[in-house]
Chains A and B, each alone.
Chain A
Amino acid sequence: MSTLKYALFTGCTAKQSTPELLSSTLAVAEKLGIEITILEEASCCGASHLQDFDEFLAHVLNARNICYAEKLGLTMITICNTCQLNSAMTKHALDTDPELKARVNEKLAEVGLEYKGTSEIKHFLYTLIDEYGLENIKDKVQVPLSHLNIAPFYGCHNIRPSELHHSSNGGENPYNPTSLDQLIDALEGHPVDYDHKNKCCGFHVELQANHTSEVLAGNAMVDAIDNNADVMVTPCPLCHLKMDTYQDDVGKVIGRDIELPVLHMPQMVALALGCTEKEIGLNFHVQKATHLTA
């Protein structure tokens, strides 16, 4: 297999509250021989909130990020579902609307950039599965996760709207996604089957509709716990933040004790590939994942 090379759009959380996401991503890439160039020029994707405030500005800033991947001639990979969604929505809007593309490029020209539409945008989860391949990952497993019941939590913005993701990212069926289950299988863990795996965690209304947010996170976590999950895994750091940081508050609203470690997808792979404790970075979790090593 020729070496896979990607431009990594880190997003804000991997640079701030979830450093373990970045370190485990880089560690997995190194173990698998995937070459990563971090897009240090890339700004925040707007996380759908800037889009609510000023849609055009959000397109301009996301197009700028993509320009830097285009300059390298590489596929832009994301490690956050919401970064994936917002970057891909801008790409889709610009690639299908020449007038909008021209208006955006007029602004980008002011800083010497031009959006062309030459780079694909894909979540790291799907590059691992579709391009590196599950069979190849299986071959690299050093620490099988066979002692763990792992609840996959897919996160909305990698599976919906399916029309967008079908053209560029994973192509999951949002009513029956399978990628994380397959990945858990490949690492010899036991995927937990539960109804809420494809539901919303409530992160985006954490501030403005707190009760709704806690109820959604709680429903998912309780469902995973009741189906014997030892740990949850998600490709989205926003789902991670909601479910890891707010377990006490969520438990109070739901009326249940909730203790469930929430791993980032690359952390789970890093565990199975035998990466170092520092690279995996479990110390950064609020809900400590102490029982993960066999």
Chain B
Amino acid sequence: MSETKKVTLKTFRFNAETDYLPYYKKYELEVGKDELVLDLLNRIKWEHDGSFSYRRSCRHGICGACGIKVNGKATLACKQNAMELIKLFGDELLIEPQSKKRAVKDMIIDKKDFWDKHAAVTPYVVRDVPAHPEHETQMSPKQEHMFLDADLCIQCGACHYSCPALEANPDYFGPAALTAAYRFSIDPRDEFSDERLKTVGEMGQGVWDCVKCFECTEACPKDINPMEKITKLHNMQFERGVAESNVATRHAEGFLRGMKKYGYLDEADIVTYSEGYLGMYKHLGAAMKMMKSGKIHWHSGIPFIDSVPKIKHLDEVQKLIEISQTNRL
């Protein structure tokens, strides 16, 4: 097999100062097996069009400047082998900025929203330290391990601009800011954790708006798994006792109500318990349709009452909940 491959790069072009609309321009390149996506961007600029613009700096996967998207896949250009992408998507690659609506020039985007979200979670250790401390603030290896890999974030924006929840709700903090929030809330030196956890627990902006799609986990070029940190933040809401009783926290805790009674989730109860009786009206339309199509059962003749089957050996589940539950709402 030949060591090179002829590839078309369908490339997003836009200059916010002069262009009314973005357009795509095709460049044909002979791509070698060891070339990185960044090499291809360089070759477009050096061999085809000197005005083509993108950010790059370290070339070592550490500065986070060269994040783009290739066929919709978040890509750190200096880390990604081009041939791997050709194998995955074929010999026409779609080269786009992380966020088309935030494009300033070609691959360069305005990351203001990313930095604003980051700043909003107080991404540093807050602690009153005497001006002349007599010893270091100590941390055990076990405490240090609790950071997991959250420290390795290079703030490239790959997860942030892959998050569909953020796309639908611009107020949401997004996975990068929440990873930073976890990093500093788990730090034993930090004295601001409860306030930070309250901020990231607020409805409409915080952890309860995560849709659990794992796009962030897939996107991260440093394998950080932001979704794992978001789950830890969910847990910390209850562990630290900062969780307020609202539709989201009741939704999480309320699973146990059905499980204690039946072993299964009680699908009707989780909606009424989470929403409260007043909030239920939003779901009446759907409930009526579900009832009409037989999705809500009438085992007892009355809908919702005793309509959930029971698992075998339910007593085991009840006992395990009793002896293993560690959190309370």
Is there an interface contact between A52 and B231, defined as CB atoms closer than 8 Å?
Answer: yes
Give the complex CA separation of A61 and B73 in angstroms: 35
- Contact partner, A210, options B256, B264, B282, Cβ 8 Å: B282
A147 interface hit (Cβ, 8 Å): no
Give the complex CA separation of A13 and B317 in angstroms: 19
- Contact partner, B209, options A17, A160, A208, A215, Cβ 8 Å: A208
Distance from B105 Cβ to chain A, minimum over Cβ atoms (Å)? 25
B258 interface hit (Cβ, 8 Å): yes
Given contacts A56-B324, A111-B316, contact A13 B267 (CB under 8 A): yes
- Contact partner, A200, options B213, B316, B323, B326, Cβ 8 Å: B213
B22 interface hit (Cβ, 8 Å): no
Interface range, B side = 35 or more
Is there an interface contact between B168 and A212, defined as CB atoms closer than 8 Å?
Answer: yes
Give the complex CA separation of A175 and B212 in angstroms: 17
Is there an interface contact between A286 and B89, defined as CB atoms closer than 8 Å?
Answer: no
Is there an interface contact between A161 and B235, defined as CB atoms closer than 8 Å?
Answer: no
| Total contacts A-B at CB 8 Å | 203
Residues of B with C-beta under 8 A to A245: 286, 289-290, 295
- Contact partner, A16, options B211, B253, B267, Cβ 8 Å: B267
B140 interface hit (Cβ, 8 Å): no
Residues of A with C-beta under 8 A to B292: 286
Is there an interface contact between B211 and A202, defined as CB atoms closer than 8 Å?
Answer: yes
Is there an interface contact between A209 and B235, defined as CB atoms closer than 8 Å?
Answer: no
Contact stretch, chosen from A26-34, A35-43, A124-132, A266-274: A35-43
- Tell me the chain B residues, 266-322 only, with Cβ under 8 Å from chain A: 267, 271, 274-275, 282, 285-286, 289-290, 292-297, 307-309, 311-313, 315-317, 319-321
B208 interface hit (Cβ, 8 Å): yes
Q: Per-residue CB proximity of B159-180 to A under 8 Å, as 1/0?
A: 0000011001100100000000
Given contacts A53-B255, A215-B168, contact A64 B316 (CB under 8 A): yes
- Contact partner, A49, options B73, B251, B320, B324, Cβ 8 Å: B251
**Considering only CB atoms and an 8 Å cut-off, how many residues of chain A contact the other chain?**
64
Contact stretch, chosen from B11-19, B46-54, B214-222: B214-222
Is there an interface contact between A53 and B329, defined as CB atoms closer than 8 Å?
Answer: yes
**CB closest chain-A residue, reference B169:** A212
Given contacts A41-B313, A161-B227, A162-B218, contact A53 B234 (CB under 8 A): yes
B119 interface hit (Cβ, 8 Å): no
Give the complex CA separation of A54 and B259 in angstroms: 14
Residues of B with C-beta under 8 A to A246: 286
Give the complex CA separation of A77 and B89 in angstroms: 31
- Tell me the chain B residues, 208-253 only, with Cβ under 8 Å from chain A: 208-215, 217-218, 225, 227, 231, 234-235, 238, 246-249, 251-253
A102 interface hit (Cβ, 8 Å): no
Is there an interface contact between B225 and A195, defined as CB atoms closer than 8 Å?
Answer: no
Residues of A with C-beta under 8 A to B255: 44, 46-47, 49-50, 53
Greatest chain A CB density within 10 A among B89, B265, B292, B309 is at B265
**CB closest chain-B residue, reference A19:** B294
**CB closest chain-A residue, reference B329:** A53
**CB closest chain-A residue, reference B282:** A210
B71 interface hit (Cβ, 8 Å): yes
Give the complex CA separation of A49 and B210 in angstroms: 11
Residues of A with C-beta under 8 A to B264: 12, 15-16, 43-44
B4 interface hit (Cβ, 8 Å): no
Residues of B with C-beta under 8 A to A208: 203, 208-209, 246-248, 251, 274
Is there an interface contact between B252 and A12, defined as CB atoms closer than 8 Å?
Answer: no
Give the complex CA separation of A128 and B226 in angstroms: 32
- Contact partner, B323, options A51, A110, A204, Cβ 8 Å: A110
Q: Which 10 pairs from chain A and chain B are nearest by CB?
A: A160-B214, A52-B234, A200-B213, A208-B248, A53-B252, A111-B316, A43-B263, A215-B168, A212-B168, A17-B295
Contact sample, A vs B, 11 pairs, CB 8 Å cutoff:
A16-B297, A16-B309, A17-B290, A53-B253, A55-B231, A56-B326, A161-B225, A205-B165, A212-B209, A245-B286, A246-B286
Q: Which residues does A use to contact B, with CB under 8 Å?
A: 12-13, 15-19, 40-44, 46-57, 60-61, 64, 107-108, 110-111, 113, 156-157, 160-162, 173-176, 195, 199-200, 202, 204-205, 207-213, 215-216, 245-246, 248-249, 283-286
Q: Which residues does B use to contact A, with CB under 8 Å?
A: 71-73, 88-89, 164-165, 168-169, 172, 203-204, 208-215, 217-218, 225, 227, 231, 234-235, 238, 246-249, 251-253, 255-256, 258-259, 263-265, 267, 271, 274-275, 282, 285-286, 289-290, 292-297, 307-309, 311-313, 315-317, 319-321, 323-327, 329
